[in-house]
Amino acid sequence: NDVLDFSRIENGKLQLSIQPFSLPALLYDLYDLFANEAAQKSLIFSLYAEPFEEERFNGDALHLKQICVNLLSNAFKFTGEHGHVSLTVRKLTARGRTNVLEFTVSDTGIGISPDGLTRIFNMFEQESSTVTHRYGGSGLGLSITKAIFQQHGFRFGVQSTLGKGTTFWFIATDTK
């Protein structure tokens, strides 16, 4: 699936579809997708969203979901039993008719070295050969995620401490 997606992105065939969507529905979907895995690994999986006045935002719900699924899949993959994975959505500002939502995916997993952080968004790159050996994977998920961020013009970033955990964030702007 990753490889298919990437060829579509590279060929410029990634269609953006900006429409009203329900933020709670998106969060419930994500909860459903990961609740079993959380239970199996005895992980705490927290979803936090501020009580927004509105439930509907404008955006590409499919792409937002794909981004969150990619980030959460990694968070679950790289966090051992009894760890903690969370997804938080905050509304930063509402300037005029523009909503600015900050999504944060945090985990208490293996973390990423400073050198790894410079490479993980590149195609086929993983943090280290130890990671490749132990966890498998294609090294494509984050390059797809980055391509989606860039197509939408979302700012994004990552902070990590080896052995402690990782936080990915991105800021989605919604123009009504």
For 21, how many CA atoms within 13 A lie in the half-sphere containing its CB?
19
- Cβ-Cβ contacts under 8 Å for 174 (sequence gap 6 or more): 57, 58, 59, 98, 99, 100, 101
Q: Which of 26, 43, 74, 154 binds ligand ADP (CB under 6 A)?
A: 74
- State which of residues 5, 43, 101, 141 lies at the interface with ligand ADP (CB under 6 A): 141
Piece of 43-51, 58-66, 90-98, 135-143 that binds ligand ADP (CB under 6 A): 135-143
> Which residue in the set 6, 45, 101, 107 belongs to the binding site for ligand ADP (CB under 6 A)?
107
Residue among 89 and 131 whose Cβ is closer to ligand ADP: 131
Residue from 84, 139, 151, 173 in contact with ligand ADP (CB under 6 A): 139
Instruction: With CB under 6 A as the rule, give the number of residues binding ligand ADP.
Output: 20
Out of 5, 60, 127, 174, point to the residue binding ligand ADP (CB under 6 A): 127
Burial class (CB in 10 A: 0-12, 13-18, 19+), 3: exposed
Task: Find the binder of ligand ADP among 87, 110, 147, 172 (CB under 6 A).
Answer: 110
Query: In angstroms, what is the minimal distance from the CB of 136 to ligand ADP?
Result: 7
Cα distances from 1 to residues 5, 6, 13, 20, in angstroms, run 6, 9, 15, 26
126 interacts with ligand ADP by CB under 6 A: yes
Other residues' Cβ atoms within 10 Å of the Cβ of residue 124: 10
138 binds ligand ADP (CB under 6 A): yes
Torsion 137-143-144-148 (CA) sign: positive
Choice between 61 and 120, CB closer to ligand ADP: 120
87, 96, 176 from 56: Cα distances, Å? 18, 16, 10
Contacts to ligand ADP by CB under 6 A: 74-75, 78, 107, 109-112, 120, 126-127, 131, 137-143, 166
